[in-house]
Every structure is written in structure tokens, then in C-alpha cells.
Structure 1
């Protein structure tokens, strides 16, 4: 495989408030091709808000968003694909149609997750919560975008499938930049090349678990 073309995604000086409640206050974050950037933080700290701003589904009070130093008001689907926490595929669609709509083949999904072989022809709404989450993660990760945003990708997923998704993320980062967050922090830190923890409306770079304790994300080691 030829070397991937390098790209850098940055969000800088991100500000967001809901009434008197300030969520983000001057956040800076960087994602680059060939790496996984992970964001940790307690519930309500603004992790999902940050991803929604990057995806264009939430408007910041102020922010500068750049790819390779070029400012963007919003990004296209060729630049960014976003996995939200909530299901996004209509329940009436059949599995093959959902994959086809994203330009993907059923056989590719089944190579990674053989459990889907027995689910051929199934409607999305008939899948379990874990099966839907696997499918959505797979679709977004395989999308031909420069950057992939994953909000709680491991939610409802069994440990065996978490390990497969981690392998898929490692493969896809060779040609993409990946930003993810998840409350199962060991799954996150195990694949992160760059780590931030959000607290007090800002994103702080972290090198180890001691930093996570110091920033109040962990109570102790």
C-alpha cells in the first residue's frame, strides 16, 4: 500500500454556551492522518458537543476549523464522517440496502464480523442494539473520508467485537485521521496515539494515567 497523503484537522478557540452554562472555552484539538486522537472527560464536559461542531450539526459561539491550515466554515462528507451516539440508519432498511447506500459490500462486513452472515436480508430495526452499533461503526470507518469522528463507538458492544473494532480502527487510521471518545477509557487509551482530557471547558493533552488523575478524570490509579 502506498503511503497515505498526510492531512491535519484542527479546531481552535472553540466556544460554546447554553444560556449561562459554559460548555467549551477556548478548546484546541488536533487530529492527523495516521493517528487516533482520543478525548476523555466526565459526562457533560462537552466531548459530544465538540464532535457535533466539527460535523456541522451544532453551531459554536466561535471556533476556527482548519484542514491543512485552510479555514472552513463547515466540512463536506468527503472531509469528515461522524458516528453519533444515537442510531442513524432508518429501521425499515434492509442490511444490504444500508451497506449499498454507503458504497459498501455485505461480504466486507461479513469478513470482519461473521455473525452478520446469518442476518442477511434482515431489517435494521430487527437487529439488536449491539449489532446496529457494529454496523454503524463499520459503515463510518469504511467511508472514504479524510477524517472519522466516533462518539462512543464501543457502547453496547461485546468485548470480542470491541477487539475487532479496535483492529479495524488501527487499519483505517493508515489512510485517515480518527477522533474518538468513549466512557470505556481503557478501550480508548489502548488505541490512542494522541490523548486529551476535557475539563473546565478546555481540552488538556495527556501522556499517561497520572495526567488523567491530575485533571480529575480518574479518582485514583
Structure 2
């Protein structure tokens, strides 16, 4: 079954500073939706609002036309990869995969070097290893939508293509909303891209449009 996540009417201010105003975006099953914008434009705030952070009451978040009220979100509806680590350091890899009901063998097939970490706890893993693990858990979870905030941060270049391929494979099962300052990756994997500028969202079709809107330089 295909699902539709729609976000509109978002208004967010901190003091006299208006961060978001009349934002709209849509994410659907089978699509990767990219979100770009300069640092401080409100990308992470918007993602947190979607997953239920009570930053503002002025918002409309809907899945298949049904409003998601309050701060409650069901894992089968939405999963979120924040910029910080979220898996407890006390857990082992095998326990984590059991808890998420995800096949650890498929994970190790994609990342063979993780075989050596199978019985280890999160506390003994490097930041980059943790990032790959948490990204995989969120991406492969049984959910209608996943939201990935900076999924390529702290990732070794050798793993970036693997992660992009996993995202493209998984989009047939869910809608994926992704943001990262490494805009080239976002443009390569996204079926549609929104940019936030002056608090508003608008569609972007090319790197040239990013340049025209002052986001990147082409020289």
C-alpha cells in the first residue's frame, strides 16, 4: 500500500526571529524526498516538528489525510534518525538487532567489517560505526516513513555509496525524507527536492537552481 505524508501550515519563531512560515512538503511511498537549506534555516526543526517535538502548535502533519495530533508518533508510522546517537551504549549489536526485529546477517552482508563487532556493546564502537548502525536500523525498520537528518555525517567515503544504494532499495517499502549538508548526495538519490529559504519551502530541480538561490557556488 502506498502512503502519503503531508506537512503544511508550519509556523515557528524564536523570539522575534521567524524560522519557518507556511512550510509545505510531501513525501510518498516509493520516493526519496530531499530537504536542503543553509545552516540555521530550520531543516532540523522541521524534521523534529514532523516527528512530534512540540516546538510549535501551528502545524498540520498528516499521513494518508489523517492528522497526527499532539506529540505522539507510532513507530509503524514514523522513524527518525537524529544527528546525535540514540542507541544506549549498554546494548550489544545482537541485542539491538533483536529489539528492532532486523536481520543482523543482512546488515553484515552490506558491511562485512561489522562481523568483528557482533558481540560488542555500543560503548566500544567509534562514532562513525555507531552512525552506520543507527542509520541502518532506522532505514530498515518497519515503518511507513523514515526521516534521516544528516545520514552521511561522520561516514567514511567508502561506505557512502553503500548507504545511498540501501536508501534507493528501501524506498520501495516506505517514504524517505532526508536532509544533509552534502547536497550532491541528496540531489543524486532524491526523486524530489525541497529547499528552505526565508522560512519557506519550494521545489528544486537542479544544482543550477541551488546556485541561483545562493546555496552553492558552481565555480
TM-score normalised over the length of structure 1: 0.95
In structure 1, distance between residues paired with 2:89 and 2:138: 17
Distance in 2 of aligned mates of 1:174 and 1:83: 19
Say which of 126, 132, 135 aligns to 2:133.
135
Given the two structures, how large is their TM-score scaled by the length of structure 2? Answer: 0.96
The equivalences for 1:26-41 within 5 A come to 26-41=22-37
**What does residue 68 of structure 1 align with?**
64
Could you tell me which residue of structure 1 aligns to residue 151 of structure 2?
153
Following superposition, the deviation at residue 123 of structure 1 comes to 1.0
Cα displacement string for residues 181-205 of structure 1 (whole angstroms, at most 9, x for unaligned residues): 0011111111000001111001110
Compute the RMSD of aligned alpha carbons.
1.2
Partner of 2:9: 13
Q: Any gaps of 5 or more consecutive residues in structure 1?
A: none
Return the offset for 1:61: 3.7
- Deviations for 1:56-99, whole angstroms, at most 9, x for unmatched residues? 12432401111122222153111000000000001111111111
1:100-139 maps to which residues of 2 (within 5 A)? 100-139=98-137
1:101 is displaced (CA, Å) by 1.2
Q: Which residue of 2 aligns with 1:176?
A: 174
| CA deviations over 1:106-165 (Å, ceiling 9, x no partner) | 212101111110112111011111100000000000100000000000111111211111
Quick check: 1:14–1:64 contact (8 Å CA) kept in 2?
yes
| Cα distance, 1:220 vs structure 2 | 3.4
| SS of alignment partner, residue 115 of structure 1 | helix
Q: Which structure 2 segments of 5+ residues have no match? A: none
Instruction: Name the CA distance, whole Å, in 2 between partners of 1:100 and 1:215.
Output: 45
